Amino acid sequence: MSNSRFTYPFCYTPDPLIVEESRRIISHIDQSHTLRNIFAEGKMLGVLMVDLPGANGHTDPLLHDCSGNRGFLYGFSGLAGGRSHIEGFVPPIFDTTSVDIDSSSPEESRRLQEWLFEQYKVLNAKGEESTILKIFSDAGLVPPGGTGDCAAPKMLQYAFRRGMKPLAMGEFWYGASPEREIRRHGCFYPSCTGKCGPLLGYMLQGLDVEPNPLESDNLWSIEDPFIRFEDNDLVVVDKPSGMLAVPGRNARKSLQDWLSEYCETEVFACHRLDMDTSGLMVFAKNREAQTALQRQFEERSVQKSYLAILCPNERLNTPAEGDSGTIRLPLMLDYYDRPRQMVDFEKGKMAVTGYKILRLFDDGCIEVLFTPLTGRTHQLRVHAAHPLGLDRPIVGDRLYGGTLPAGTHRSSRLMLHAASLSFRHPGTFSRMSFSSSLNGFN
């Protein structure tokens, strides 16, 4: 293992042993006509590495690839092919297929849901037990439908019941991609925050869990921001990857904080970059300049481009250098899994991105120049990863399936960089253009 702490399930890079075991699961399914048909529709699968409670643990029928005191458990989310039990995979925490859940009124439906979630009794690593209904109620929340049926809580519950200590975990997609959510065959994804946030928060109590990397003070290697231009009205800066653009909920210093200290005057944000994204940003030094610059962003008169490295996709033909096109996909927030976005042709807002293939790498990755014509949240990340986009997530994108195994020669950071920025100066109205290259793209 590359880490002695248990996987933080909501943002992680999969351990190499978890990656290896997931490939073994995929190969096993591919070679079984029955399993291939069950999972072909598309399903989130999970693998949990556990420390066994002595020799008796090796006799457990659901343990795979036991070596020494270590073994693996497999799980799947929800039902697969209408089944709640599949040989070789852990059982559900509570089997809803044995319950008639039809109801004749909204009130009866509510009561039935509450009763169901009282039947989901889960353990944590301390040996404590609670129900899903109480776990969510204690947090002032109502559990969404399907809570408790994901792969992660099912595997943890099975392990705790049998005295196994969880060591590492990963969840990945098998089969066809859905139309809305970003899910690609063989790619790892974090646990959902809506259904699994409070639940896993309870179940992991008592385990030494990795800290949330998004709240860590050691995000990759954050270098100092680089000032590109400064005058009395504005400052243009290269933002490092891993640095918040503007102040967030935690106390970590943002780029806006850093610039206010550097410039010895308060600066004001005019646009945003994701924390993981590096590259060019412009901040205003007074409210008048901020209003003028924000208006240019709203009117889409600001010209921007981004460099990105995309993951390999062996199922697609290799593009040619110079290939270009435009992606149009409507996006909306996945309310059960914030901040992830999804494609929705009925309720989503249209997002438009131009792209050009710049380079092909020997490892199957490709370098792309993106030119966004709209400014939706996670627009480039979704357009890169979605099957109706380029079907290749950005390297290092832990939300949309771009994680590479620990130890991979490529950087684990999100390989997305704001490479050019052009706007009119709010005071002189002259056109200003800046460009920036990303170190480490080779």
- The set of catalytic residues is 274
* CA nearest neighbour of 257 among 242, 268, 241: 268
- Sequence letter at residue 139: A
Full DSSP string of 106-167? HHHHHHHHHHHHHH-EEE-TTS-EEEHHHHHHHTT--PPTTTT-SHHHHHHHHHHHTTPEEE
* Cβ-based neighbours of 114, under 8 Å, separated by 6 or more: 133
Pairwise CA distance, residues 255 & 220, whole Å: 16
Q: Which helix (H) or strand (E) holds 153?
A: helix 151-161
The β-bridge relationship of strands 416-424 and 303-310 is antiparallel
Among 386, 387, 384, smallest CA distance to 370 is for: 384
Q: How many CB atoms lie within 10 A of CB 427?
A: 14
3-state secondary structure of 170: strand
Q: Quick one: 267 exposed, middle or buried, by C-beta within 10 A (0-12, 13-18, 19+)?
A: buried
* Selection from 270, 282, 284 nearest residue 420 by Cα: 282
Residue type, 254: S
